[in-house]
Amino acid sequence: MADAIFLALSVITIGSAIAALEMRSLIYGSIALMGTLGGIAGFFLLLDSPFVAMFQLAVYVGSIAVLILFTVMLVKRELIFKKVEDKRRKFVGIALMLVFMVALGSIIMNSGIKTITTDEPAVDFRNIGADFLTYYWPALILMALILTGSVTGALILARREDVENDQRTD
């Protein structure tokens, strides 16, 4: 059962990733990208970590894919893309990807991943939180600082002082 689901998820993820690259319509391409990100969330569910899966859905599908979709909708495709059909570049790209994947796969396979026992209980998300607050606290503080900085920067960039609004009453 789990193998069948894994196969189906792999087909969905890789297929929609290829579709996201190859589709002529940008909107359908970004929908296919959502399929890829959702498929990865499915892998996390299969790996007994629903916490990460839900964050994958909420952050990647719910926010980042929406941003991509929104940007794509405001773009006139003909203006920024010229059709460059080059068969040789395409095949070289595919070959490069295959070499890269084989190398990565052999590294992962030789790293002792086969000896990991898989019947251990799933990690409780409370343990993740506890680890973040104890052992990994510098990483947590660093992430918090980066996030705060980027949010503050975004707010300052988005603020427009030059616009005078006569209707504004507040």
What is the rounded distance in angstroms from the CA atom of residue 167 to the CA atom of residue 150? 31
d(CA 167, CA 39): 47
Instruction: Give the DSSP letter string of 102-166.
Output: HHHHHHHHTTTGGGS-S-SPPPPHHHHHHHHHTTTHHHHHHHHHHHHHHHHHHHHHH--SS---S
**Angle subtended at Cα 107 by Cα 19 and Cα 13, rounded to the nearest 5 degrees:** 20
CA 128 to chain centre: 21
CB of 72 to another protein, least distance (A): 9
**Residue at token pair 């996201």:** 20
Beta carbon of residue 106, minimum distance to another protein (angstroms, whole number): 35
Q: Which is nearer to another protein, 104 or 146 (CB)?
A: 146
- Gyration radius from the chain CA atoms: 22
| Residue numbers at the binding site for another protein (CB under 8 A) | 27, 31, 34, 50-51, 54-55, 57-58, 61-63, 65-66, 69-70, 73, 125-126, 155, 165, 167-168, 170
Between residues 17 and 54, which has the closer beta carbon with respect to another protein? 54
13 or 65: CB nearest another protein: 65
Q: Is the Cβ of residue 10 or residue 63 nearer to another protein in the bound state? A: 63
The smaller minimum CB distance to another protein, of residues 115 and 167, is found at 167
CB of 164 to another protein, least distance (A): 13
Q: How far is the CB of 51 from another protein (least distance, A)?
A: 5
Least Å from the CB of residue 66 to another protein? 6
